[in-house]
Amino acid sequence: MAEKFINCRGLQCPGPIVRLFKEAKSCDGGDIMSIEATDLGFKKDIAAWCKKTKNELLSLEEEDGVIKAKIKKVDQA
């Protein structure tokens, strides 16, 4: 199980989810993706992205304008 850090600070919509989508392709089921973004909309977007792509949102927090999320890649049947 690998952990991948994805820095999306400074990227505007739809940058962070596009980047995350591409990075997720090279991850295996169970891998953790740790992502940081400064686009405020990302806080809601990441939840919607996880729901739609059926990945698991482990944690979501905001600290000094930086949104940090941890996502577990779920193997798609």
Residues forming the active site: 13
Yes or no: say if 27 and 73 are a contact pair by the CB < 8 Å rule: yes
* 74 near other proteins, rule: CB under 8 A: no
* 40 near other proteins, rule: CB under 8 A: no
Yes or no: say if 36 and 66 are a contact pair by the CB < 8 Å rule: yes
Options 34, 53, 60, 72; binder of other proteins; rule CB under 8 A: 53
Kindly state the tokens that stand for 71: 């996502």
* Bridge partners, 13 (sequence order): none
* Bridge partners, 61 (sequence order): 68
Options 4, 6, 14, 60; binder of other proteins; rule CB under 8 A: 14
Among the listed ranges 11-19, 29-37, 57-65, 66-74, the one in contact with other proteins (CB under 8 A) is 11-19
DSSP E strand stretches across the chain? 3-8, 32-37, 56-63, 66-72
* 66 near other proteins, rule: CB under 8 A: no
- Residues of the shown chain interacting with other proteins in the complex, contacts defined by CB under 8 A: 10-15, 17-18, 20-21, 48-49, 52-53
